[in-house]
Amino acid sequence: KNQVEQSPQSLIILEGKNCTLQCNYTVSPFSNLRWYKQDTGRGPVSLTIMTFSENTKSNGRYTATLDADTKQSSLHITASQLSDSASYICVVSAGSWSGGGADGLTFGKGTHLIIQP
C-alpha cells in the first residue's frame, strides 16, 4: 500500500532558527514529490516539486531534498519567520494510476510548524 509518513507531527521553534521536516514514502512507481504549505484556514500552496533525478531544489528560504534510493525527502527552512507558521504537507505522485488513492497522489498528514517570536 502506498504511504507517505511525515515527521515530526508538530514542531515549535523560535523565530530566526532553522528547521528540517521529514517525509518518507513507499509510493511506487514514483513520479514526483511536492511539498505544500497550508496556512490556517487556507488551501495548500505548492512550494517545490521534485522528480526522480533531482536531489535538491530551493525556493527562497525553503530547500527540499530527495533521496530516491531511500525514498526520503526533507524540507529545510532557513532563518524562520513568523509567517512560516503553517502545516507542511508532503505529496507523492505515482507514475500511473496504479497507486496513491484514486488520483495517483498520496498525501502525508503534514507537519504542523509553529514559529514563536
Partner 1 sequence: GAGVSQSPSNKVTEKGKDVELRCDPISGHTALYWYRQSLGQGLEFLIYFQGNSAPDKSGLPSDRFSAERTGGSVSTLTIQRTQQEDSAVYLCASSLADRGLYNEQFFGPGTRLTVL
Residues at the contact surface with partner 1, assessed by CB under 8 A: 4, 31-32, 34, 41-46, 49, 51, 89, 93, 95, 101-105, 107-110
Give the nearest distance from C-beta 64 to partner 1 in angstroms.
15
Distance CA 111, CA 98 (A): 27
Smaller CB separation from partner 1, 41 or 117: 41
Q: Which is nearer to partner 1, 90 or 115 (CB)?
A: 90
Buried b (16+ CB within 10 A) or exposed e, 49-73: ebeeeeeebeeeebbbbbebeebeb
CB of 6: closest distance to partner 1 in angstroms?
9
Amino acid occupying residue 43:
G
